[in-house]
Amino acid sequence: MTAQDQIKDVIEKNPVVLFMKGTKAMPQCGFSSRVAGVLNFMGVEYQDVNVLADAEIRQGIKDFSDWPTIPQLYVKGEFVGGCDIITEMTLSGELDTLLEAKGVAYDKAAAEKIREANA
């Protein structure tokens, strides 16, 4: 199975996937840590993929999405964005709207706390 096949497979089998440096329990870079922290705090169930564990996946996800940086968040097969986009979407409430539209469970009160803390 090629890296592209593996990437497609994990995206198709999991409603929410975060390609990141490290794991959701132990992120290995600040950007990955920020996105994982938001998802963890909001109670979103997601599959983490540690790109540091496989160089082919690390490059493959960049080619797959045509996006040069990691982390990368996918929701129901759709590429949402990286750290800056997820941060902006969280603060504007757009991430809530997307998760609701896609039928992904999350803690709305936690999302509000993030916005209040960053107002």
Confidence (pLDDT) at 1: 87
Dist. CA 64–CA 90, nearest whole Å: 24
pTM confidence score: 0.96
**Strands of 78-81's sheet in order across:** 47-50, 16-20, 72-75, 78-81
Give the CATH number of domain 3-117; options: 3.40.140.10, 3.50.50.60, 3.40.30.10, 3.40.630.30: 3.40.30.10
Confidence (pLDDT) at 119: 86
Confidence (pLDDT) at 95: 98
Domain residues of the chain, as ranges? 3-117
Q: What is the mean pLDDT of each run of 10 residues along the chain (119 residues)?
A: 95 98 97 98 98 97 96 98 97 98 97 95
Confidence (pLDDT) at 103: 97
Check the annotation: does 83 bind a ligand. no
